Amino acid sequence: MEKYLEVTEKLIKSLEDSSLNVLEFKLDNFSLKISKSPFYENNLQVMDLQNKRNDESNNLITDKKIEDKDELKEETNIKVLRAPILGVFYSSKAPDEEPFVKVGDEVKKGTTLCIIEAMKMMNEIKAPYDCKIVDCLVSNEDFVEYDAEIFKLEQL
pTM: 0.52
Q: CA 27, CA 66: separation in Å to the nearest integer?
A: 54
Can you list the pairs that 5-14 forms with residues at least 24 positions away whose Cβ atoms lie under 8 Å?
Answer: 5/119, 7/32, 8/32, 8/119, 9/119, 12/119
Domains delineated in the chain = 1-37 (no CATH), 39-155 (2.40.50.100)
Per-residue pLDDT of the chain (156 residues; tens, 9 = 90+): 566 677 777 777 777 777 777 777 777 666 777 776 554 333 433 333 434 444 554 454 444 444 555 554 455 688 999 999 999 999 999 888 999 999 999 999 999 999 999 888 899 999 999 999 999 999 999 999 998 999 999 988
DSSP β-ladder status, 131-136 and 106-107: antiparallel
> What are the distances in angstroms from CA 152 to CA 99, 107, 115?
16, 13, 16
Backbone phi, psi, residue 98, to 5°: -65, 150
CA within 13 Å, CB half, 123: 17
